[in-house]
């Protein structure tokens, strides 16, 4: 393994986060804090508790997951799209760097930034609501798996996109709505039976449910199912990335 090249790409991507600190860290934290203020005050006054948990604390895992998904995709997609845009990706493809090392460095940097952001948001949430984590190890597991999985999705989007506007299509039109409808601000158990069944087809439900379980021991679906579905998503995206490099899709033209 070319550790020098892997470290160089990883450090370059992490340095980019430092240069865009306002966009990468400060803006998502402020946006999430506003969710706490608005939803905690407006809805929390009408829904004091959910399964014995204060509403403000109940929505913390969903808000962390919302930021985690969007930022993982954004970091990874821009990271690989920009070399395509500038034409420097051909230097990467011709360098003595394997495809595995290339993906590992870009996805690893994007996932690292997302995990850091998620932990900062958790610390910020503690300023607004009483927060507890019943299963800290599983919280870290879900945090890491989700960050890596959606960084891979972002990497795929960055390869697929042929313009800056396309980088935002899937996050804005698909991922964000699925997150809002996936139980970020409510439990799907309060839905009528038909709509609860429909919600189970939303993949984000399993991510949020498993992550919330690690905090309060509450879950809309079995935690084993949530973990299994997360691993399935990870495997699917790994397969797509492998296909991209095997076929040269949007890389060799």
Question: 100-104 — which CB contacts under 8 Å span 24+ positions?
Answer: 101/1, 101/2, 101/5, 101/6, 102/9, 103/152, 103/155, 103/241, 103/245, 104/6
Cα end-to-end span (Å), the chain: 27
- pLDDT tens sequence across 27-49: 888 888 787 777 766 666 677 77
- pLDDT tens sequence across 9-31: 899 889 877 777 777 778 888 88
pTM of the model: 0.91
- pLDDT tens sequence across 236-247: 999 999 999 888
Nearest to 77 by CA among 144, 8, 169, 5: 169
Cβ neighbours for 128, distance < 8 A, ≥ 6 positions apart: 33, 36, 37, 40, 56
Longest Cα pair distance anywhere in the chain, in angstroms?
Answer: 60
SS3 state at 209: helix
State the pLDDT confidence band at 113, using cuts at 50, 70 and 90: very high
Cα atoms found within 13 Å of the Cα of residue 151, Cβ hemisphere only: 22
The CA distance from 137 to 192, in Å, is 33
The CA distance from 178 to 49, in Å, is 24
């Amino acid at each position: 393994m070319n550790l020098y090249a892997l470290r160089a790409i990883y450090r370059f991507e992490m340095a980019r986060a430092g240069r865009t600190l306002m966009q990468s860290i400060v803006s998502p934290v402020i946006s999430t804090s506003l969710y706490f203020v608005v939803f905690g005050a407006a809805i929390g006054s009408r829904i004091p508790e959910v399964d014995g948990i204060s509403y403000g604390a109940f929505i913390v895992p969903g808000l962390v997951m919302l930021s985690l998904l969007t930022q993982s995709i954004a970091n990874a997609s821009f990271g690989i799209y920009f070399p395509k845009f500038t034409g420097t990706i051909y230097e990467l493809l011709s360098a003595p760097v394997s495809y595995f090392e290339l993906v590992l460095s870009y996805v690893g940097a994007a996932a690292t930034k997302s995990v850091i952001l998620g932990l900062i948001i958790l610390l910020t949430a503690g300023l607004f609501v009483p927060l507890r984590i019943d299963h800290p190890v599983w919280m870290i597991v879900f945090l890491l798996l989700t960050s890596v999985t959606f960084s891979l999705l972002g990497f795929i989007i960055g390869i697929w996109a042929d313009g800056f506007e396309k980088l935002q299509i899937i996050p804005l039109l698909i991922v964000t709505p699925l997150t809002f409808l996936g139980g970020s601000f409510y439990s799907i158990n309060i839905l009528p039976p038909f709509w609860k069944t429909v919600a189970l087809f939303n993949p984000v439900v399993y991510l949020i449910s498993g992550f919330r379980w690690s905090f309060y021991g509450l879950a809309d679906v079995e935690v084993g199912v949530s973990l299994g579905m997360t691993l399935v998503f990870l495997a699917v995206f790994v397969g797509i990335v492998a296909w991209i490099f095997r076929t040269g899709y949007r890389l060799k033209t």
